[in-house]
Amino acid sequence: MIRIGALVSGGGSNLQAIIDACKDGRIDGEVVAVISNNSRAYGLQRAKDQGIATYHLSSVTHPDEEELDKAMVEILKGHDVELVCLAGYMKKRGPTFIKAFANKVLNIHPALLPKYGGKGFYGRNVHRAVVEAREPRSGATVHLIDEQYDHGPILAQVEIDVKDEDTPDSLAARILIQEHMIYPKVVSMIASGEIDLDDFDTSKWTPIYLDPA
């Protein structure tokens, strides 16, 4: 079973999707630790409800960013975490964190990267930009992180049509359904070895395109 750590900043619905998939056997794994930069994040309560260890680490507890990275790494390594899932985590991590979990940190983004990614493109901002640009398609992307926002090798994507009548809120709701499908699916593929992050070669990797839920 793969040991999963998660980082959250808010509600943590994608965290819940991963927890549920572990519990019902769709992922051969277990979420063992959850860290949030927001002590009031509902994602922490979701984890507590499942008996998962929770931690608040932020610029409040660690004003120095490198020390914050080190503290996060220490906690995750202390739980023998093998895969880290960012689930609505809003802060960019530094080289110390990324190096400690090289090719083992996933993020999910509510758009078809590389479009509509980067600093400032999060939550409703993403969907507003997609609707205003009259894009015909949008979706969700699971990718490995690097030191830039929403940048790193794309592992998988799922696409849906953007409807003429879509608003940012309606599009967000429909894409969230896809996020809850694709994120556990990718984690499951990693746990089973179908996606091998121990021998990951960006130059040879072709992103996986999944059918919508």
Classify residue 38 by its DSSP letter. -
Q: Is-catalytic flag, 79?
A: no
Residue in 56, 79, 109, 151 annotated catalytic: 109
Nearest to 33 by CA among 21, 50, 14: 50
Nearest to 158 by CA among 91, 111, 100, 101: 111
Judge contact between 168 and 134, C-beta under 8 A. no
Judge contact between 2 and 191, C-beta under 8 A. yes
Nearest to 159 by CA among 129, 184, 181, 188: 181
The catalytic residue positions are: 109
